[in-house]
Chains A and B, each alone.
Chain A
Amino acid sequence: MAPPPPPNSPKSIPIKAAVNNHIAQCQLSEKQLHHLLTMGTQPAASAVYTSAIYRGRRRTYLQAVTLAACFAFAMFIGFLVGQAPSPTEYLDRAIEETVHNHLLQMPLEVKAGTVEQLKSYFHRLDFAPVDTALFSPSLDLLGGRYCSIQGQAAAQLRYGTQATQDGAITVFQVPLDKRLQNHLPVKRIIDGVQVEVMSLGELMVVRVMDTTSR
């Protein structure tokens, strides 16, 4: 491939035009269009059985299907119970979830500079969120929002720069599962962010930080 021409080369165009041209090339084929346009228009299958013999057979068949479904459901529940995550699995999933939430940077539900101001907002939680200098010695508390970790209601606190409101550190707090105590603290770097999971009193705290933050 030839080296790219300099920005003022006649071949260079504004990125907006290049993106527009690139996307405009995408077209559904005739076959794809036809399929999408006719989805949902296929006639429904109709039942034609009306004989007494069929009704008898159908009753037996439905009973068998119901029994099989109940058995399968019981097996499924048993499987789920037997598959409750181990502490390590729970931590892996919680870390994945909190990294994703940190990177999403969803808008704060409440802006506040102190955790005292946040406590009244988090009244739906079974705990009061905490703030310590450990979370961020140099950045400001910007605010918080509700979230969840592995289905459990959690508090999300964001730390950053007041001027830009960009959150470089997110701290998630949730009641601590005692099974995790011997597995903490945990520290990892995933996709350019640093994750620390620790226990703080009765809470599990997950601190997710852009690796250039302090």
Chain B
Amino acid sequence: MFDADILNQLYRYAYALCANEADAYDLLQNAIEKLLRRGHAPQSPGAYVRTMMRNAYIDQIRHQGRYPMEPIDEADLTAMDIDERSLEQTLITQDQLDHLWAYLTPVEREVLFLWVVDGLSMGQVAAHMDRPRGTILSLVHRMRKRINSLSPEMFQAMDGGA
């Protein structure tokens, strides 16, 4: 049903959700097991596995009491640059992104994955995630603000003080 390329693509999506390779593999394996138990292949097995992984991960973090969203600052809401081009213009070193990845929320990582890897526009990301476009743009705005405000000490803290 799947070849190595597709399995790796699905694995990377799982990794985007949970930012941990071992957990990503478990998510993928469990989703494939569920697919095999169905008895008949769905129309789009890849999309099915992705949905299964996403639902499983959301259930997991919900039970852990982890909610990734932050409240919207009303002052920012009127002044913010609600445009995905502002995210495209954000610069970061590879090292910083590698360290920052685990500290992003699952929703932020998923948005980045859909935008970067799947090549979706923010409007398409919003439709895919079944959320208002404004909510996704607000999230992008907050994420960019957070990235731009990170100080050397904060990156050091992520690095475990190394």
- Is B81 close to A, CB under 8 A? no
**Contact yes or no, A19 B71, CB < 8 A:** no
Question: A28 with B116: in contact, given A12-B93, A23-B12, A39-B33 (CB under 8 Å)?
Answer: no
- Is A4 close to B, CB under 8 A? yes
Residues of chain A with a CB closer than 8 A to B71's CB: 168, 192-193, 210-213
**Contact yes or no, A23 B67, CB < 8 A:** no
- Is B48 close to A, CB under 8 A? no
**Contact yes or no, B135 A105, CB < 8 A:** yes
Count residues of chain B with CB under 8 A from any CB of chain A.
58
Residues of B at the A interface (CB closer than 8 Å) are 2, 4, 7-8, 11-12, 15-16, 21, 24-25, 28-29, 32-33, 36, 62, 65, 67-74, 77, 87-98, 101, 112-113, 115-117, 130-132, 134-135, 138, 147, 150, 152, 155-156, 159, 162
Residues of A at the B interface (CB closer than 8 Å) are 1-5, 7-9, 11-16, 18-24, 26-28, 32-33, 35-37, 39-40, 96, 99-100, 103-107, 161, 164-166, 168, 190-193, 210-213
What are the 8 closest A-B residue pairs judged by CB atoms, nearest first? A210-B71, A3-B152, A18-B97, A12-B91, A40-B36, A103-B69, A19-B116, A7-B91
A–B complex contacts, Cβ < 8 Å, 25 sampled: A1-B152, A4-B96, A11-B93, A15-B87, A15-B97, A15-B112, A16-B87, A20-B117, A23-B16, A23-B113, A24-B12, A26-B21, A26-B24, A28-B4, A28-B7, A33-B4, A33-B7, A36-B28, A36-B29, A103-B67, A105-B132, A105-B135, A106-B131, A164-B77, A168-B72
